[in-house]
Amino acid sequence: MGYLDLNAAYAQTPPLDAFTGHAAARGEVAEFSPLEWTTILMSRRDGLSSLGTPGRFARFLGRLFGIDHKPRLADARLEALRRFAVLSWVHGYNVPKSEFGVFKAAGYSMSQAETLLASVAITRADRGR
């Protein structure tokens, strides 16, 4: 009488990401620290204009009318996260490929990008109801 050893089959499959359901790569962490989640949530108020640097005319008008431009974050890693989050709040899943490269170069994984995009999509859907 034979049997099927399911323990060996389950040991070979990678774990699934909680938000996307895709298989996470070995060693990739799809979590964010509380500071990173705060950065993601605070970036909801930022517009696309916060991603670029203001030109000379914009700085002149800012000084003339007392309008402050949003400075970049001091931590380059958090700034990359903020940029990616702003683009995902505005465009949803249509974030430019170049930003994925910047996001990954800052030390984040693709699993974290998927987690951020799914979280933003869920929040946007809840706000639309």
Single pTM value for the model: 0.66
Between CA 55 and CA 93 the distance in angstroms is 29
Instruction: Note the pLDDT tens digit of each residue in 36-83.
Output: 998 888 888 876 666 666 678 777 877 888 777 666 777 888 888 988
Apex 83 CA angle, 79 and 86, nearest 5: 135
